[in-house]
Amino acid sequence: MRTLNSLLIMLILLIWYGEGKKTKLKGIRWWTLANIGKPSNDLRSNTQLYNSPSLLPLTKKQRKLVTKHPGTISALQNGARMAIDECKFQFRNRRWNCPTQDVGNGGPIFGKILDKGNRETAFIYAITSAAVTHSVARACAEGSIYSCSCDYNLKQPSGKDWEWGGCSDNAKFGHKFSRKFVDVLEKGRDFRYMMNLHNNEAGRVHVSKEMKKGCKCHGMSGSCAIKTCWMRLPSFRDVGDRLKDRFDGASQVISGNEGSRILGNRPNTGRKKKRYKSFQFAPVNPNHKKPGRRDLVYFDSSPSYCEKDTSIDFPGTYGRECNATSIGIDGCDLLCCGRGYVSKSYMVRERCSCIFRWCCDVKCEVCTRTKVLHTCK
Amino acid sequence: MAGVVLENLSWKKLIILGVFLLVLLITFFLVGGLVAPKPSNVVTVLGTKCYDNGKKLNRSKWFVSRGIHKCEELQNLDPTDEMIVNKSITEKQVVFSFWLPGPRGGEERKMTPLFQNMLAVLQVDIEHSDKVPLSKNPVLQLDVRLGARDEGDDEDDWKQIASSVEDRNLQCTLEKGKGEGYLYDCELLQLFELGSISNHYYLVNIRLPVNFLKGYNVGIGKVVDISIHLIHQNGGFTIVWMSMKSVLFVMVLSLLIWFWRRIMQLGRPPNLLERTLFSLGVVMSILDCPIELLQLGVDIPFMLLLNDIRQGAFYAMLMSFWVIFAGEHIMDQTERNRLSLYWKHLSAIIFGSICLFVFDMCERGIQLKNPFFSIWVTSAGTKLALAFIILAGIAAGCYFLFLCYMIFCVMKNISAKKASLPTMSQLRRKYYLGVIYRFRFLMMATLVCAACTVVFFIMSQLNEGEWRWGDEDLSLEFTSAFFTGVFGMWNIYVCGLLSLYAPSHKTVVEIDSADGSTEENVQLTQLPTTPSETSALQALTSKAAQD
């Protein structure tokens, strides 16, 4: 059975390599938006972006979408940055520490790992898609995207608008926009396409599911006879945490029996609302549960990430700083893959006993300390 | 009160009336559920961090978060940020700006008077940082201004509505195991409440000035963002609510006139119960009167307060009615029909109402002057508010004890009278049966209404607007249905009382035809001369005179 499965995977991979080589990384170029203008308060980089949209590393469809919704570009830029920062934060203690390359316009910022279909790839897709959802929703709340859709709350006949029933939550637009913007890249009908779409959606769903409810009573004399509740956007750190949990529990899959997507129009209920395409994935280990909407899926096994691997542009864990006392994955034993580590003590002058004054003033003393640095051999 | 409509109504008519009222109730429920949108809507606006590059603190300048007069925006407030370091930006130069409401669908959305009122709550995002600890129970001091502008006005022409320096207690927690970079979970803070909406756009500017000497805004941690959740009534709900109120107003008012004319026809001064019932009708029609419609043309900032008072008056009147009704049905030999007999119960009600009124004046009354005011933010204010509410609660408790005792007395007397019913003469038996029936009917109706209110209330609290029945095409907005349904139900309750407990003209005729006149005289003299029976006699004689 196992051999059959691996054969199948190899077959799929072969097919995929055959047809998708040319276009496969074109769409994810938008990630390089993160590099345009460092995250600072310098406004010039943003205006530059507006002025020359042709320079954007986007596909035609994406560019159309961005032009249709002015203001989304800085949200996307923000989102790409958020995704990268979050990825680096979540993986700071692991062998694969989400390395990014400072490539010029157009190159894949996460490197060739995207050619693979492993756990890490799944995480990258999910976190970037989630970041777009999050930052677009945030930009809607900030009022920097004028064209955020209203989606009147009640499915009433026409003529009912914002004055009648108010608009929907900002997150809804973020979700929709992310779907249109991110998923547009995944063309074709191969297994990788299905995996990426699934992981994209998983990322978005996590943003919606992590939303917290806030309520306020405003009845007679402020009593709770009338109580209004709303959902508020989670912090992106929380989304990252959840996605990391899902990364740890991600399931290796093969294509399900049908092998193709099932359009989620529930046949009987006749609902108008289209459910998003859901795919049939079968876990490689038949004892495992089928992956749900929020689970990450992958089909390639990850390498050990110990040695330098040119096929994914990963430098290995040589020279990485590690924690000598930890027995976890950040500990020197595991991180250095048993190669051992070098300890070096050094003097450092750093800021200490700081007094912070909101918002942006920190007064510190400078202290000299001796520190020990452990690095992998 | 002798011979009310209820006793003399045939079962058939009673059922027809009951079905009619039930249909009416279901209509109200469905109107709320199907036509109206949810009662209120929330607009979330994330504050834009504006940079005030003026040398001196200029409090009269407005910082606008978008449009042609958009302020210079700061992307983040990190102390290590290049721009913040270079320009040595201090907290005095950071202004959080909110333009309410936000743009949607490509255009600026406008507030309308249909929204009736708005309430803004503040959500402060504080990032945990070991270098920037959050002190215990920190006080956030907001230097806040509220301005407004209309669509046609000059983009720069924001008129100040209110300005204040307010303290709010921050209560934040951090989940265990979360460290640097995680956000605290902070409780929402009330920002302002406006009782009327007369402008299209509102602008809020907030500064968080630090004062080390006085300890303001010192231990508030690393505030990264502030957002406002603006709650306003939905326009559609206002329209449905107002239409419903107008219909009910006409209904109650016409019934009230009918009721009063009927009493006038009796040719005797109305007894206590009739007067109470009439007052209940009057208070109900005052509550129904759709004066909120005036807000569409005129700016009435005290509408929230007025609505609270109207609602409170109705509750007080309803409670008074119950106690007087029960009291008038105690079938003992005491002389009743006097308001002074109920001083204990009524003073409990009045005391409770006054407590709540004072509390409401403290909160909403002061809000008329300063919309940022809230009695709950200072500890003294909280104690005062709690004291009033507890006193009102005690008064309500006393009232219910009195009421329960009274109902217990009535029940005791009913069972005593029931036992001796067979030995009574026909007229006397008919009289007592009537009293018992009347009482039981009201008791049942009241209990059903109260139970429905409680059940609906719990249901609406459980699902908080998320409740949707059926498919997307046929969704029932439960919260709205709850409001229209319950409001309609109590109106129908009052209408039912007014129509069923109005004095009947029929009684006398039936007695005339059923009993021999000689026997009747004998029976009547044997009756205890309770006030209600004297009124029966009066009714009898007046009817006879008319004949």
Which CATH architecture does the domain made up of B5-39+237-546 adopt?
Up-down Bundle (1.20)
Are residues A312 and A256 located together in one domain of the fold? yes
Are residues A219 and A367 located together in one domain of the fold? no
Q: Quick one: closest CA in A to B79, which residue?
A: A360
Are residues A63 and A96 located together in one domain of the fold? yes
DSSP, res B270: -
Q: Which of A286, A316, A346 is the last residue of a domain?
A: A316
Are residues A361 and A298 located together in one domain of the fold? no
Are residues A214 and A142 located together in one domain of the fold? yes
What does each C-alpha distance from B61 to A32, A191, B74, B76, B103 come to in angstroms? Answer: 39, 58, 18, 22, 23
Token match 């700083």: residue? Answer: A321
What does each C-alpha distance from B308 to A185, A225, B22 come to in angstroms? Answer: 56, 12, 28
Are residues A145 and A68 located together in one domain of the fold? yes
Q: Which domain holds residue A367?
A: 318-377
Residue extents of the structural domains in chain B: 5-39+237-546, 41-233
Q: Is the ipTM of this complex over 0.85?
A: no
Number of domains in chain A: 2
B295: closest CA among B393, B220, B196?
B196
Are residues A62 and A138 located together in one domain of the fold? yes
For B44, phi then psi, to 5°, come to: -100, 125
Give the pLDDT confidence of A106-119 residue by residue, as tens digits: 556 787 788 788 89
Q: Do B103 and A143 touch (CB under 8 A)?
A: yes
Q: Do A230 and B220 touch (CB under 8 A)?
A: no
Which residues in chain B have their CB less than 8 angstroms from residue A160's CB?
37, 236
B278: closest CA among B333, B321, B230?
B321
What does each C-alpha distance from A10 to A3, A13, A227 come to in angstroms? Answer: 10, 5, 57
Interface of B with A in 78-107 (CB under 8 A): 78-79, 81-84, 89-91, 94, 99, 102-107
pLDDT in tens, chain B (547 residues): 457 888 878 889 989 998 999 999 999 999 998 888 888 999 999 999 999 887 777 788 999 998 888 999 888 888 888 888 888 888 888 999 999 888 988 888 899 999 999 999 999 999 988 877 788 888 899 999 999 999 888 888 899 999 999 999 899 999 888 888 899 999 999 999 999 999 999 999 999 988 888 878 888 888 999 999 999 999 999 999 999 999 999 999 999 999 999 999 888 888 899 999 999 999 999 999 999 999 988 899 999 999 999 999 999 999 999 999 998 888 776 667 788 888 888 999 999 999 999 999 998 999 999 999 988 888 888 899 999 999 999 999 999 999 999 999 999 988 888 888 888 888 888 888 888 888 888 999 999 999 988 888 887 777 654 544 444 445 678 888 989 999 999 999 999 999 988 887 764 444 444 443 333 333 333 334 344 444 444 444 444 444 3
Are residues A202 and A347 located together in one domain of the fold? no
Are residues A286 and A345 located together in one domain of the fold? no
For B145, phi then psi, to 5°, come to: -130, 145
Residue A228 lies in a domain: yes
- Judged by a CB distance cut-off of 8 A, whether residue B54 touches chain A is no
Are residues A187 and A330 located together in one domain of the fold? no
Q: Do A216 and B188 touch (CB under 8 A)?
A: yes
H helix or E strand, kind and range, residue B291:
none
Q: For A348, what's the count of Cα atoms within 13 Å in the CB-facing half-sphere?
A: 10
Are residues A340 and A245 located together in one domain of the fold? no
For B163, phi then psi, to 5°, come to: -150, 140
Give the pLDDT confidence of A215-262 residue by residue, as tens digits: 888 888 788 888 888 888 999 999 999 999 999 999 888 876 544 444
Q: Do A89 and B181 touch (CB under 8 A)?
A: yes
Give the pLDDT confidence of B163-221 residue by residue, as tens digits: 999 999 899 999 888 888 899 999 999 999 999 999 999 999 999 988 888 878 888 88
Residue A12 lies in a domain: no
- At A257 the pLDDT is 54
Give CA B355 to chain center in angstroms. 16
Min Cα separation A215/chain B (Å): 9
Please tell me the distance from the alpha carbon of residue A129 to that of residue A106, in angstroms, as a whole number: 18
Min Cα separation A232/chain B (Å): 8
Q: Do A166 and B41 touch (CB under 8 A)?
A: yes
Residue A5 lies in a domain: no
Are residues A231 and A350 located together in one domain of the fold? no
